[in-house]
Amino acid sequence: MQPKIVKFGPVKIAGYLHKTSMDNNTIPAFWGEIMSDGRHEKLHGADFAKQPAEHGAEYGVCFMLNDNDMDYVIGAEVKPGAQVSDDFYACEIPAGDYAVFSVEPYPLGQPSTNIQTAWGVAFDWLATSEYAVNNNPSFEIYFPGCTCGTDAECAACNSGNMICDIYIGVDKK
């Protein structure tokens, strides 16, 4: 899997902050909490959140604080000019170059090993590529179906599968 190198951002995100580390990665458990305790619905029902019909998506954003500790945000893109209430944590994904790895689609609402596989491919690619990771966050963007922008005849749009892309901030070595 070869990534696309794209210019992305800035994008304002708002959602829920979780502090974790590489030594004790609790991100999967955090996703489980968000999905089961009502916060996921609250996030996507918030006035500020772009909805899928507006090309909105869900984000899982990793801000590395040092070699081990990170802030992780599960959030939605904020509509231009919208106000974010104090119930949510707001942050920004800065503009920059990103290597984008597309994850093999998987059934909506089900955990996926495809994401972990794609991360492994990304790290393998980085080890031998002409790019190095920069200080921008790495993140996943989740789309509940295809985002091709075509009509209802698109098989991917009607598949019921989750689409996920991994973005890693990079600079040429």
Say what the pTM is. Answer: 0.85
pLDDT at 168 over 70: yes
More confident residue, 103 or 28: 28
Give residue 59's pLDDT.
Answer: 93
Confidence of residue 151 (pLDDT cuts 50, 70, 90): very low
Highest mean pLDDT among 2-11, 143-152, 154-163: 2-11
Residue 130 has pLDDT above 90, yes or no: yes
pLDDT tens digits, 86-123: 999 999 999 999 999 987 766 566 556 777 888 889 99
Burial string for 25-63 (b: 16+ CB within 10 Å, else e) reads eeeeebbeebeeeebbeebbebebbbeeeeebbbbbbeb
What percent of the chain has a predicted confidence (pLDDT) above 90? Answer: 61
CB 100 within 8 A of CB 9: no
- Answer for the pair 126, 168: CB distance below 8 angstroms, yes or no: yes
SS3 143: strand
CATH number where 83 lies = 3.20.80.10
Rounded-to-integer distance, Cα 8 and Cα 74, Å: 18
Range of the domain at 79: 4-172
Amino acid (1-letter code) at residue 139: F
Cα 117 to chain center, whole Å? 16
- What is the average per-residue pLDDT within 65-83? 94
36-55 per-position pLDDT tens digit: 999 999 998 999 998 765 55
- Count structural domains, the chain: 1
Looking at residue 148, the DSSP 8-state letter turns out to be -
Q: How confident is the model at residue 125 (pLDDT cuts 50, 70, 90)?
A: very high
Tokens (6 digits) for 144: 């509940």
